[in-house]
Chains A and B, each alone.
Chain A
Amino acid sequence: MSNKKPESVSTNALTARLLLFAAGMFVFGVFVLPPVYDVFCEVTGLGGKTKGQAAENVVAVADESRELSLEFVTTVNQYAPWEFRPAVEKMTIHPGGLYEAMFVAQNLTDQFRVAQAVPSVAPAQAASYFKKLDCFCFSAQEFLPGEVKEMPVRFIVDSDLPDFIDTITLSYTFFDTGGTTDDAAMPENMDHGADSAHGTR
């Protein structure tokens, strides 16, 4: 090439670098953005997402001076064949105290079915203060034909909860994840969700 300047990188080297940069951006899009997004959600409570694992090192010390009202909302996704509702729709709690709430679900079919409950907290700012010690949403729930199950969630609402929040809504959506007990198909799927970086539940 007649007009190559002495200080410039060779065409091939520059092309290779640019290709590498493009590849890097692909990796960034697929492998970096999602986990970063999840961390971001966890910090800000974006989307009302709560942690997918049991909270650790939480000590229950109820702050009797403050009352919160806690509401439960249930949804069944895609007309899935479940009856799913909270045992009580509303409870009054103190921040810092340990509580348990029950949810009732029934498999309305005559087949084995697996469901996954997905929690969401409103207002979203409360999500990171909502600490679950045990939850039926931590794993997929298996149901015998027609089975009715009582499922508990044990939680503490952190007493650091900002003052402007006086009502928290805890919502669970039931997703039907399969109509068989073929243990190869669905549970594996669920594991992926939980193990991968995106499993923020």
Chain B
Amino acid sequence: MSTAVLDGHAADDSSEHDHGPAKGWRRWLYATNHKDIGSMYLIFSLLMFFFGGSMALVIRTELFTPGLQFIDPAFFNQMTTMHALIMVFGAVMPAFVGLANWMIPLMIGAPDMALPRMNNWSFWILPVAFTILASTLFMPGGAPASGWTMYPPLVLQTGDAFPFLIFSVHLMGISSIMGAINVIVTIINMRAPDMSLLKMPMFVWTWLITAYLLLAVMPVLAGGVTMLLTDQFFGTSFFLAAGGGDPVMFQHIFWFFGHPEVYIMILPAFGVVSEIIPTFSRKPLFGHDSMVYAASSIAFLSFIVWAHHMFTTGMPLTGQMFFMFSTLLIAVPTGVKVFNWMATMWKGSMTFETPMLFSLGFLFLFTIGGFSGLMLAIVPADIQYHDSYFVVAHFHYVLVPGSIFGLMAAVYYWIPKWTGYFYNERLGQIHFWLSTIFVNVTFFPMHFLGLAGMPRRIPDYSTQFADFNSIASIGAIGFGFSQLLFVYIVFQCVRKKGAVATQEVWDNPQGLEWTVPSPAPYHTFDTPPKVTAETAFS
């Protein structure tokens, strides 16, 4: 721990200080402080998590038994579409941006993000974007119902909501791009003097790579949806066969964005567990540098595998071969990461507090998602799996016990630093076990449904699929309500109920964020800290 940090700022957690937060709503609307913006991002994403989650429960309730009981097919399609858009762009991505805002300056010894005003904009665009998106639910023709993949020509049949869908996607894109630029500039320009790139913590590294991915693919998505807009309203025919276009081209553009997007949602979670596992194994991260190279090669490979989502569209054999092998290749660096985490735990001295439990849950269940991903890469098998519930099972395993567990782990790990109070460990562990059990009850049966022939995105199904659908629905309801416990636990910390956290919080954790007091003062690292052997990673 560097002593320089403590000088003058140790007790700076009240608004009495000159540079303390503004009073009332101004503090939030005009926020430029990375911690305030980080908190807003996290709270916003939590709201969206419940908003999108309630849609998932509408879906699962309808699917509980065969026959339509509660909603009509058109509304069902709106629910699946909105659920995905909200979870991807409203919950997972902003939550990781919130973590980046809070933690990157603390981890690299910077006083704030490099572009605080842009930071403010990139956050406040999001509530606007999602208000617009949510308002489409009340428009004539209903919300978008073409799936989050927005494939033409179907998406062009969207009602009045269509331009609002495109506009809100544009806004989400702009917000992400600004967030990404901020992260990159902060990491490149604001590091503590002695912190070379390779000494950065893994969370910072994975976010740097993620930010470059965002910067590269969000504009492509924006371009794709803009072409949809001009096809609909301005007489172009990029995707209309009648005018010489090709609907399949949209799929290429979409997945050129879409596959890196998968890694945008998972790489920061890789970073999180790479912080947590060493702390609770009381052992440094195994192969820090190879982790960096693995993450970089995953990012690179993610640009050349996109058409594995399109094996049934009719593709030349050579194309199929290429995308099959490139996709399989991604398993190698991903495997390296899993083995490195395994080696980190090996011969450690482990304890199992909630963040560690969520990280272990991540490790096991994300790997299961990885296995089904491997199976999906094999073209002949993919022809059977594609667009079935097997795929639904696969990506939910990657996203829920992957990305979401990563986020949960991060919150439990850093919330004592944010609020100065420990969460209730007992409740945290109960939350973990409920989440883990229910996530498996929900998504594991979906593998069987898909293999037995149930297509995805259908509001009703034949009676032989009834049992597993009922089980999945029970799991989903259980998972959904378990998350209320998470809200309770978090707000107990915010309300300063719980054990007081020390500066180090955990047992000798590594990193600069543990050299500032708990809760972290409003301003930290006004003078850059010294990076010592203890706080540097390599």
The reply to whether the CB of B73 lies closer than 8 angstroms to some CB of chain A is: no
* A residues in contact (CB < 8 Å) with B: 1-5, 8-11, 14-15, 18-19, 21-30, 33-34, 37, 41, 44-49, 52, 77, 116, 118, 124-125, 173, 175, 177, 188-190, 192-194, 196, 198-201
Instruction: Give the shortest distance, in Å, between B98 (CB) and chain A (any CB).
Output: 21
28 A-B pairs with C-beta separation under 8 A: A3-B109, A4-B189, A5-B193, A8-B188, A14-B185, A15-B181, A15-B185, A18-B184, A21-B215, A22-B181, A22-B215, A26-B219, A27-B223, A29-B253, A29-B256, A34-B238, A37-B249, A37-B252, A46-B314, A46-B316, A47-B248, A118-B242, A175-B242, A177-B242, A189-B243, A192-B237, A196-B236, A198-B237
| Residues of A close to B202: CB separation below 8 A | none
Residue from B185, B242, B527 in contact with A18 in the complex, judged by beta carbons closer than 8 Å: B185
| Residues of A close to B220: CB separation below 8 A | 25-26, 28-29, 33
Give chain B's interface residue range (CB within 8 Å of chain A). 35 or more
The reply to whether the CB of B218 lies closer than 8 angstroms to some CB of chain A is: yes
The reply to whether the CB of B67 lies closer than 8 angstroms to some CB of chain A is: no
- The answer to whether B219 and A29 have CB atoms under 8 Å apart is yes
- The answer to whether B193 and A14 have CB atoms under 8 Å apart is no
Instruction: Give the shortest distance, in Å, between A20 (CB) and chain B (any CB).
Output: 11
Instruction: Give the shortest distance, in Å, between B511 (CB) and chain A (any CB).
Output: 17
Instruction: Give the shortest distance, in Å, between B246 (CB) and chain A (any CB).
Output: 6
- The answer to whether A49 and B246 have CB atoms under 8 Å apart is yes
**Which of chain A's residues has its CB closest to B115's CB?**
A15
| Residues of B close to A28: CB separation below 8 A | 219-220, 223
Q: A3-B110, A29-B222 are in contact. Are A192 and B216 (CB under 8 A)?
A: no
Q: Which 5 A-B pairs have the closest CB atoms?
A: A29-B223, A193-B243, A175-B242, A29-B220, A26-B219
Residue from B189, B224, B249 in contact with A8 in the complex, judged by beta carbons closer than 8 Å: B189
Q: A3-B191, A8-B189 are in contact. Are A118 and B316 (CB under 8 A)?
A: no
**Which of chain A's residues has its CB closest to B218's CB?**
A22
The reply to whether the CB of B3 lies closer than 8 angstroms to some CB of chain A is: no
Complex: how many Å from CA A139 to CA B526?
69
- The answer to whether A193 and B115 have CB atoms under 8 Å apart is no
Chain B 182-197: CB-based contact to A (< 8 A → 1; otherwise 0)? 0011001111110000
Complex: how many Å from CA A124 to CA B316?
8
Q: Describe A's contact surface by its main secondary structure.
A: helix
Complex: how many Å from CA A52 to CA B244?
8
**Which of chain B's residues has its CB closest to A30's CB?**
B223
Instruction: Give the shortest distance, in Å, between B120 (CB) and chain A (any CB).
Output: 15
* B residues in contact (CB < 8 Å) with A: 109-111, 114-115, 118, 177, 180-181, 184-185, 188-193, 215-224, 226-227, 235-238, 241-246, 248-249, 252-253, 256, 314-316, 318-319, 526-528
- The answer to whether A26 and B222 have CB atoms under 8 Å apart is yes
Q: Describe B's contact surface by its main secondary structure.
A: helix
- The answer to whether A173 and B185 have CB atoms under 8 Å apart is no
Instruction: Give the shortest distance, in Å, between A199 (CB) and chain B (any CB).
Output: 4
Complex: how many Å from CA A77 to CA B241?
10
**Which of chain B's residues has its CB closest to A37's CB?**
B249
- The answer to whether B252 and A173 have CB atoms under 8 Å apart is no
Q: A29-B222, A118-B242, A177-B242 are in contact. Are A14 and B253 (CB under 8 A)?
A: no
- The answer to whether A3 and B193 have CB atoms under 8 Å apart is yes
Q: A11-B114, A18-B184 are in contact. Are A77 and B242 (CB under 8 A)?
A: yes
- The answer to whether B190 and A14 have CB atoms under 8 Å apart is no
Q: Which of B224, B235, B242, B252 has the most CB of A within 10 A?
A: B242
**Which of chain B's residues has its CB closest to A23's CB?**
B219
- The answer to whether B242 and A1 have CB atoms under 8 Å apart is no
**Which of chain A's residues has its CB closest to B316's CB?**
A44
Q: A29-B224, A37-B249, A175-B241 are in contact. Are A125 and B192 (CB under 8 A)?
A: no
- The answer to whether A3 and B190 have CB atoms under 8 Å apart is yes
